[in-house]
Amino acid sequence: MKIHVYARLKDFFSPEFELNAVAHNTDELKLRLLEINEEAKSILDSCRFAIEEGFIDHDHKLKENDTVIIIPPSSGG
């Protein structure tokens, strides 16, 4: 599974990377990401997740070949 992270998440992960662990939904994906860097917990808890079709909810069934985009909250204007 390919992962793309943005903004503040780049302080915890590479901007783009492959995740070889199994994750069936975004809740499991968060757990796998915390195994890589547990310091990202507070920001991951407030992130939105998307795949090519758009934003997804926590029970969306992820596929091994998905590209998941993780977007932290933002502010400003």
60-72 residue pLDDT tens = 999 999 999 999 9
CA 53 to chain centre: 15
> Is 77 within the bounds of a domain?
no
CA 60 to chain centre: 13
Q: Does the pLDDT value for residue 77 go beyond 60?
A: no
Report how many domains make up the chain: 1
Contact (CB, 8 A) for 11 and 41: no
d(CA 3, CA 66): 9
Query: Quick one: pLDDT band at residue 1, thresholds 50, 70, 90?
Result: very high
d(CA 41, CA 5): 14
pLDDT tens by residue, 34-54: 999 999 999 999 999 999 879
Q: What is the pLDDT of residue 11?
A: 96
> Is 76 within the bounds of a domain?
no
Pick left, alpha or beta for residue 24 (phi over 0 → left; psi -120 to 50 → alpha; otherwise beta).
alpha
Q: Does the pLDDT value for residue 74 go beyond 90?
A: no
DSSP state of 61: -
CATH number of the domain encompassing residue 37: 3.10.20.30
Query: Quick one: pLDDT band at residue 76, thresholds 50, 70, 90?
Result: low
